[in-house]
Amino acid sequence: MRLYLRTYQFASLLGVWITLLVCGGSAALARSPAKDSPRQVGATDAGQPIMAAELDELTRAFADRYVGLLASTCDALKKDNPDPMQRREAQVLMLNCATNVYDIASNADAFTRMLDLLVVTTLVSQVWIDDDRVAEVFAGREELLIRALHHSRVEAWALAAQVLRPEQLDLMDYLLWDWRRHNPDMVRVSFVRFSNFAIGRGKSANSEVLAASGLYANVGRAGQAVAETRLLTERMFYMLKRMPTLLRWQVEAIKDDTLATTEVGNGLTDFHRLTEQVEQLPKNVAAERQAILTALTEANGVVTSLGQTSNSLNEMLKTADGLIARYDGVDRKLSRPFDIREYTEAVKELAVAVGKMNDMLKSSNELLGSSEWDRRIQQVSQSADERIKMAAEQSQRVVHDTFWRVYAALSFLFVMLILCLAAAFMLMRRLIKRVVSNTAGLRSEGDHTADHEAGPATNARSAGRKGISE
């Protein structure tokens, strides 16, 4: 209901606009005196009229400039950009705008074409600049796009100013702004046309004026049919000439879409992670070697410390022997009398200590010379070898799996590319055949028009319609 009411209000504004349009800018059309005189579609501020043929050229040239500027801007946005989402957005923006602007530019009615170009360029610039979508999507790279879109909008309005009066432009500006206010979430606006604003408006205001003025009244139905077919043919050739570019961009968009999907993104993340692991492999092996060397060094340290203990024990034994010798060589006259109990106790203590030390030395020597020590060393060595081998195997597996996935993805993309190109080629061939046959049919029927005007005209129109429907 709300939508209906808004649409109703909008339609009312549009009615005002169309009234202006009919009364003002395109009024000259209704007053066109002769069929061969150039059609005047508006007046500039300086009062200089602009002819339909001129507007024809201007709008098509603008369309090509707009697409060219946007394409170079989006290419710049994509260049060296590591973010797949940004690359995809840039590609989609370029593709959508180019497709729709070419579609508009191939419209037969120059006036409608100009209005549609004005609508698309304005709405696209409002979405990206005014609503600051450019900062959300292309953070840090927004300047290029802002400059391109604003420049295009200014150019489109300058073009419109050659046809519309200032108050018409002001009202159009308000109309578009109001539409944007009521559709704030719509970001793909290049599909919007001026005719979308109208309810039940089958033809452009310009066409209505043309029909009402009776401009074609003396041309005859056959002539009208031929003109319609000629326009259709022109439109087809216009689109066909630009189709390869659009097709190439479409394929690029598919590629960017594929790369930006979550699954492929995860795969790429895995790929990056595994690649990093492969790169880390030599470092890991070096670390393993370093660990083994450290372990061996520590083992050597134990042996060395055992040797040192042995030496210190030997020293102790020497000391003990010295002590005993001292007791043996003591001057009994200068000291207290020899006590056999002290000597016995000392000898006993030293004997125990020496025995312990000898046992320790013995066990150490046994350990170093034993097969158990060799076995442990072998275990350490074997473990290190296994770890190195395992790391190498894992790395190889990672590399194999990753490259297999990459090959599969590339194969899939190539197959898709070939299918797309084949389909496009077939479509183009079919379209060209139809256009050529229709044009040839019209020419042959046009020869009979002088004698049988109504019949061939009907056939030509039906042929043209067939072309459209197909």
Min dist. Cβ of residue 161 to another protein (A): 7
In whole angstroms, what is the distance from residue 113 CA to residue 154 CA? Answer: 17
CB-nearer residue toward another protein: 13 or 424: 13
Residue 150 or 405 with smaller CB distance to another protein: 150
User: Least distance (Å) from another protein to the CB of residue 24?
Assistant: 9
Residue 166 in contact with another protein, rule: CB under 8 A: yes
Cα separation, 125 vs 146, whole angstroms: 8
Residue 76 within binding range of another protein, rule CB under 8 A? no
**Please, which of residues 225-244 interact with another protein by CB under 8 A?**
none
Instruction: Determine, following the binding rule CB under 8 A, whether residue 152 of this chain makes contact with another protein.
Output: no
The residue from 83, 131, 252, 288 that contacts another protein (CB under 8 A) is 131
Asked if 170 is part of the footprint of another protein (rule: CB under 8 A), the reply reads yes
Name which position in 167, 385, 386, 447 contacts another protein (CB under 8 A). 167
At 50, which helix (H) or strand (E)? strand 49-51
Q: In this structure, are residues 4 and 188 in contact, taking their beta carbons and an 8 Å threshold?
A: no
Residues in the chain: 470
Interaction pattern, residues 28-57, with another protein; x per rule: CB under 8 A: ------------------------------
Residue selected from 13, 92, 231, 413 as contacting another protein according to rule CB under 8 A: 13
Which one of the spans 61-69, 156-164, 236-244, 349-357 is the region binding another protein (CB under 8 A)?
A: 156-164
Alpha helices in 164-261 (DSSP H): 166-182, 205-213, 221-260
Interaction residues for another protein, span 87-126 (CB under 8 A):
122, 125-126
452 is a site residue for another protein (CB under 8 A): no
> Hey, what's the torsion of the CAs at 415, 421, 425, 427, to 10 degrees?
90
Q: Does 174 engage in binding with another protein (CB under 8 A)?
A: yes
Give the list of residues 6+ apart from residue 462 with CB closer than 8 angstroms, or none. Answer: none
Does the protein bind another protein through residue 354 (CB under 8 A)?
no
Greatest CA separation for the chain: 168
- Interface with another protein includes 341 (CB under 8 A)? no
Indicate the DSSP class of residue 43.
E
Give strand pairing partners of 91: none
Cα distances (angstroms) measured from residue 193 to each of 21, 113, 150, 344 = 16, 9, 19, 120
Question: In 10 A of CB 379, how many CB atoms?
Answer: 10
User: Residue 48 region, left (φ>0) first, then alpha (ψ -120 to 50), else beta?
Assistant: beta
Of 58, 90, 110, 129, the one binding another protein by CB under 8 A: 129
Closer to another protein at the Cβ: 55 or 129? 129
Among the listed residues 181, 332, 333, 336, the single contact to another protein using CB under 8 A? 181
Of the candidate spans 11-19, 97-105, 288-296, 396-404, the one that interacts with another protein by CB under 8 A turns out to be 11-19
Cβ closest to another protein, residue 183 vs residue 309: 183
Q: Contact between 173 and another protein (CB under 8 A)?
A: yes
Measured in degrees and rounded to the nearest 5, phi and psi for residue 351 equal -60, -40
Closer residue to another protein, CB minimum distance, 150 or 387 = 150
The DSSP 8-state label assigned to residue 130 in this structure reads: I
CA atoms of 290 and 425, how far apart (whole Å): 62
| Binding to another protein, residues 383-412 (CB under 8 A) | none
- Which of 28, 76, 92, 161: binder of another protein (CB under 8 A)? 161
Region binding another protein by CB under 8 A among candidate stretches 149-157, 273-281, 283-291, 375-383 = 149-157
Q: Please select the residue that binds another protein; options are 9, 294, 370, 382, rule is CB under 8 A.
A: 9
Distance CA 93, CA 334 (A): 115
CA distance linking residue 329 with residue 218, whole number of Å = 155
H or E segment and range at residue 413: helix 371-449
Tell whether residue 159 is a contact of another protein (CB under 8 A): no
Which member of 37, 79, 85, 132 binds another protein (CB under 8 A)? Answer: 132
SS3 42: strand
Span of 144-152, 230-238, 303-311, 443-451 interacting with another protein by CB under 8 A? 144-152
- CA atoms in the 13 A half-sphere facing the CB of 468: 12
Q: Binding to another protein by residue 172, rule CB under 8 A?
A: yes
Beta bridge partners of 40: 51
Which has the closest alpha carbon to 111: 160, 64, 62, 156? 160
Q: How far is residue 216 from each of residues 109, 212, 222, 336, 418, measured CA to CA in Å?
A: 15, 10, 11, 154, 47
Cβ-based nearer residue to another protein, 152 or 438: 152
| By the rule CB under 8 A, 315 interacts with another protein | no
Cα-based distances in Å from 375 to 106, 316, 382: 87, 33, 10
Q: How far is the CB of 124 from another protein (least distance, A)?
A: 11
Total residues binding another protein (CB under 8 A): 44
Residues that bind another protein (CB under 8 A): 1-2, 5, 8-9, 11-13, 15-16, 19-20, 23, 122, 125-126, 129-132, 135, 146-147, 149-150, 153-154, 157, 160-161, 165-174, 176-178, 181
